[in-house]
Structure 1
Amino acid sequence: MDTNSPAPQVWPTLRATDARALIRFLVEAFGFEEVVTYGEGELVAHAELAWPEGGGVMLGSVREAPEGDEAWPGRPGTFSAYVVTADPDGVHDRAVAAGARITTGLTETDYGSRDFAAADPEGNRWYFGTYSGAPRPSAAPEG
């Protein structure tokens, strides 16, 4: 990998009918950090929210696609994400205190994770837990 290239990342993206309210909710209820928001008035052209433990999401207001462009495929309320956290109980308590609708309470999974799920005001589903994924396969030796 070129050392001048950015580190590989995946940034899930979503659209919202009231993006500014959704940003406030995700910050207050779950603990995301607002990094940047571009747009005027109620329109959010682009926003980035960082997850304190790594990664993040991008979002913007739902709007018509410019002529000649395909429409944005994601509709408000159709997004879901699993967010890895070392403190699901703390995130759960914060979400409850902020009025989030908990859709699945704190539970221990068969695979050793502690999880819960909540819906945001747009209807998107957020899953939080300690499961950070299966170990990645080792890179094949060069031959």
Structure 2
Amino acid sequence: MNTTNTTEKQQLRAPDVWPTFQAHDAPALVDFLVDTVGFERTAVYRDGDRVAHAQLDWPEGGGVMLGSYDPSGEKGCLQPGSSGAYIVTAHVDALYERLTAARVTIVRAIEDQPYGSREFAIADPEGNTWSFGTYPGEPRGQN
């Protein structure tokens, strides 16, 4: 048995879905998402005052990627403020209280949903919408 190969395989991440965001002020958006919302700063690659690529992980799983907006860059570059993501958390009430106390813009107050989730939504400084809730999705193979 090749233990080096086994160790390398254990360290690889499973494939994920990564919502992506572009920002006029990407360093400020990274700081907001880490310092205010609670994402973890996993990787931030800068090119001067611009963010070429950032990976922010959610402590309970998953993450997002973002960078500085460059309208002359690659095709498909998203206009800042035009994205959104849903983040699953077991601590939705505590997060809502913390973000409300931090005077974050709440776009949808915390509420129980008919499908069993408790959730709310905020806007970040760029105008993107971030929804937080307890709904983890349905198990695969249900339909």
Q: TM-score range by the shorter chain?
A: 0.7 to 0.9
What runs of 5+ residues in structure 2 fail to find an aligned partner?
A: 1-5
Q: How many residues align?
A: 133
Residue 55 of structure 2 corresponds to residue 63 of structure 1: no
The aligned amino acid for 1:77 is G
Deviation at 1:65, TM superposition (A): 4.0
What runs of 5+ residues in structure 1 fail to find an aligned partner?
A: 139-143
Deviation at 1:6, TM superposition (A): 4.4
User: Greater shift after overlay, 28-37 or 117-126?
Assistant: 28-37
Contact preservation (8 Å) 1:102, 1:117: yes
Q: Any idea what SS the aligned residue of 1:39 has?
A: strand
The aligned amino acid for 1:49 is L
Deviation at 1:95, TM superposition (A): 1.3
Residue 53 of structure 2 corresponds to residue 52 of structure 1: no
For residues 1-143 of structure 1, what are the structure 2 equivalents within 5 Å? 4=9, 6-66=13-73, 70-137=74-141
Cα distance in 2 for partners of 1:29, 1:40 equals 24
The aligned amino acid for 1:43 is R
Deviation at 1:98, TM superposition (A): 2.3
The aligned amino acid for 2:117 is S
Contact preservation (8 Å) 2:71, 2:77: no
Q: How large is the Cα RMSD of the aligned pairs? A: 1.7
Structure with a larger share of its residues in helix: 2
The aligned amino acid for 2:39 is F
